Amino acid sequence: MINNGKYPSLSSKQTLNHITLPNRIVFPPLNVNYANTDGTVSDKLMKFYTDLADGGCGLIITGAAAVSYDSIASDRGMRIDHDGCVPGLKRLFSGISRRGSIPGIQLIHCGRQAANSATGYDLLAPSAIPCPVMSRLDPAYGVREMTPDDIRMVRSDFIDAALRAADSGAGVVEMHAAHGYLLNEFLSPYSNHRSDGYGGDAYNRARLVTEIIEGIRDDISRIAISVRVSGDEFVDGGLTPPDFEEIIPLFEDAGMDMLNVSAGVYESFHHDRLERCRISA
């Protein structure tokens, strides 16, 4: 067992909404690219996560699962955008729960950081500003500003995905609003130049995430809701820690139970071997 008695708090329980974590050890979302090619749960993915549960992890949040057909991050990433994903998720979450851990799943729309060649569509973003990294790597790269209908669609995709997760036995759903993906793009003045109710001040930029949290909370009372943010984007004009003094209370008022803080966007990550990731035309 991980805790040898030296750190008693590590093995203390933690309550998130109606969910009780058996200890304070959390495995963060990690896209291991072990899903089947259709994004459903494979035996390899199942073994990866159930081994972590056997190791005594209190909460296991799976790698990011795509909430819609145009939000795919990689060809072996998980998906949760249709009901065909549910049987595999049920098997995965019950395997984790049976071992005493709480299963969680991260929900993602990749926004302007998806690869067009993977999606086949122009990428959705709050504003038509290309991602400086992906536009260099992908010859087919194209991005467009989301219409109000697009925003409604993405909001319901996240809420539907959370419902699927809850129906499949997840205790926690996490919105991926970090690392420069779509929800992060809305939060940030670096990537969101909109002039409607979803752009401008922090309240408006946070609106899509708060509406998703409220929509999930209205439909599912039991599940714990987490949001992952990049506390500092490390780009000129991007989000820095003081910006979150205004944003986080909005998430809390909407019904967030847990905050997961990471950092950076694609442009601020280290890119020593970026050229190896170039996508062939």
Ligand X SMILES: Cc1cc2nc3c(=O)[nH]c(=O)nc-3n(C[C@H](O)[C@H](O)[C@H](O)COP(=O)(O)O)c2cc1C
Footprint on this chain of ligand X (rule: CB under 6 A): 28-31, 63-64, 106, 176, 178, 228, 262
Q: Shortest approach of ligand X to residue 195 CB, angstroms?
A: 30
Q: Shortest approach of ligand X to residue 181 CB, angstroms?
A: 9
Classified as helix, coil or strand, 115 is: coil
In eight-state DSSP terms, residue 243 is G
- Nearest to 142, CA basis, from 112, 184, 106, 169: 112
CA–CA gap between residue 106 and residue 175 (Å, rounded):
6
Among candidate residues 181, 190, 198, 266, the one labeled active-site is 181
Max Cα separation, the chain?
A: 55
Residues 6 or more apart in contact with residue 194 via CB below 8 angstroms: 126, 127, 145, 200, 204
Q: Is 34 a catalytic residue?
A: no
Contact 10, 23 (CB under 8 A): yes
Separation of first and last alpha carbons in the chain? 49
Please say which residue, 205 or 228, places its beta carbon nearer to ligand X.
228
Q: H or E element: which one contains 220?
A: none
Please say which residue, 106 or 188, places its beta carbon nearer to ligand X.
106
Please say which residue, 144 or 269, places its beta carbon nearer to ligand X.
269
Place of tokens 């759903």: 173
Contact 216, 254 (CB under 8 A): no
- Nearest to 189, CA basis, from 252, 233, 253: 233
Backbone Cα Rg of the chain: 18
Please say which residue, 66 or 146, places its beta carbon nearer to ligand X.
66
Residue 188, classified by CB atoms within 10 Å of its CB into exposed (0-12), middle (13-18) or buried (19+), is buried
Please say which residue, 31 or 156, places its beta carbon nearer to ligand X.
31
Q: Shortest approach of ligand X to residue 179 CB, angstroms?
A: 6
Give backbone dihedrals phi and psi of 226, rounded to 5 degrees, phi first: -115, 150
Give backbone dihedrals phi and psi of 206, rounded to 5 degrees, phi first: -85, -5
Q: Shortest approach of ligand X to residue 71 CB, angstroms?
A: 12
Please say which residue, 6 or 270, places its beta carbon nearer to ligand X.
270
The catalytic residues are: 181
